[in-house]
Homo-oligomer: A and B are copies of this chain.
Amino acid sequence: MGAAQDRYHSVRKLTGDLANPLSDADATIQSMPDASPAKWHLAHTTWFFETFILRDHVPGYRHYRADWPFLFNSYYEAEGARLARAARGMLSRPSLADILDYRAAVDAAMDRAIGQLSPQVLALVDLGCQHEQQHQELLLTDILHAFSLNPLEDALWPRESGAPHGQPGPLSWLDGIEGLVEIGAGTTGGREFAFDCEGPRHTALLHSHQIADRQVTNADWLAFMADGGYDDPRLWLSDGWAWRQANDIQAPLYWADGENGWTSFALSGRNPVDPAAPVCHVSFYEADAFATWAGARLPTEAEWEAAAAQHDPDRGNLLDRAGDIRPRPAQDAPSFFGDVWEWTGSAFRPYPGFRAADGAIGEYNGKFMSGQCVLRGGSCATPRGHMRASYRNFFYPHHRWQFMGLRLARDMA
């Protein structure tokens, strides 16, 4: 079995493991238009291989079901009409078992084909694996959101032992690189794979600044709350304050105030907030207000990447297997990867020289380059091996349901 096949198998298996605790009903529900049913993630990632590998490059391949591409195309205009995003939650059929059969059938076809594929098509297989890894994380964040709306607050996996770690250690400021740096992914960018939006590799100019050696913790956030951070409009961006007011935001998503203090809901159920762990499930608006309150700011994505490039992207609290997946208190040595995605101060816009690919694949990232903010570094739900310093994730500034937190930076004028 070649490396590509090996990797394909390993990625596909992890997806199945993550979905394993889900019933057919769990895998069917859609909690909001931004989220998709687990079943849909399982099928859409399969559709991706079926469409861009088997249909396009394997002579004689016939679609597993003729009417399923309409159901499982996400947003590719070039692939034609598709089910409205908000209607994905109506797919009680096909069943979860039907979808798992679909996965097995496509896997079998891929096994038969993969040895004959050209390097260009193998690059698409690699893209499909990376794509599926992205959906592994989305599957987790989406099912967490759905479960949070069920008053029973079931856990997907049991909580692993280990009490909260008390208070976090002090924050230290690292001197940021100043001057010209190379960022982004390119032909000499290290790991082979990168998404289109990570390139071209190019020179960026950094101004004098410092960056924190760790993420903002729950203890930090509780101090912000205790100081009235959610009630002082002068700390907030105008859009952020309007959002906070319209939605009566008073704490991170999934937090609840109880007799014994704040708790948060996670894939392993509801538990007390751990002061030493990174704060999670905060919006860009909240992150920006926190930074203003702290007399600091969010780093730009170039500052972040320049700092992170000196660290091992496979080190940190990333996803290895199904289980009690959550941000955890920082280890001793600074890491820039894992636990929570970090909001940067940068809008998601094309790099100099960026040009989208032709055809449907060209819709992968480029058309989302307005209105969204860049997040960096991966989270506890990002598969280990999927991360790299140049990785650009992006969400709207009000989004909170991903594993999102922040790290501070500051100008050194």
Any B CB within 8 A of the CB of A174: no
Minimum Cβ distance to chain B for residue A216 (Å): 19
Among A238-297, those with CB < 8 Å from B are 238-241, 284-285, 288, 297
Q: Is the CB of B370 within 8 A of A239?
A: yes
Any B CB within 8 A of the CB of A83: yes
Query: Contact check: which of B77, B234, B238, B285 meets A233 at CB < 8 Å?
Result: B77
Any B CB within 8 A of the CB of A352: yes
Any B CB within 8 A of the CB of A197: no
Among A346-360, those with CB < 8 Å from B are 346-347, 349-350, 352-353, 355
Q: What are 13 of the A-B contact pairs (CB < 8 Å)? A: A23-B24, A24-B25, A25-B25, A25-B95, A93-B150, A236-B367, A237-B367, A237-B369, A239-B370, A240-B370, A284-B370, A297-B350, A353-B411
Among A65-120, those with CB < 8 Å from B are 67, 70-71, 75, 77-78, 83, 87, 89-96
Chain B residues positioned under 8 Å from A165 (CB to CB): none
Q: Is the CB of B413 within 8 A of A353?
A: yes
Q: Is the CB of A152 within 8 A of B234?
A: no
A320 to B237, CA, bound (A): 35
Chain B residues positioned under 8 Å from A87 (CB to CB): 149
Any B CB within 8 A of the CB of A28: yes
Query: Contact check: which of B149, B180, B240, B411 meets A205 at CB < 8 Å?
Result: B180
Q: Is the CB of B411 within 8 A of A92?
A: no
Further contacts, 18 of them, CB under 8 A, given A24-B24, A25-B39? A23-B93, A23-B95, A25-B27, A29-B90, A31-B90, A77-B234, A92-B150, A203-B205, A203-B207, A207-B353, A234-B363, A237-B370, A238-B367, A238-B370, A239-B370, A240-B370, A241-B367, A353-B411
Chain B residues positioned under 8 Å from A236 (CB to CB): 367
Any B CB within 8 A of the CB of A61: no
Any B CB within 8 A of the CB of A405: no
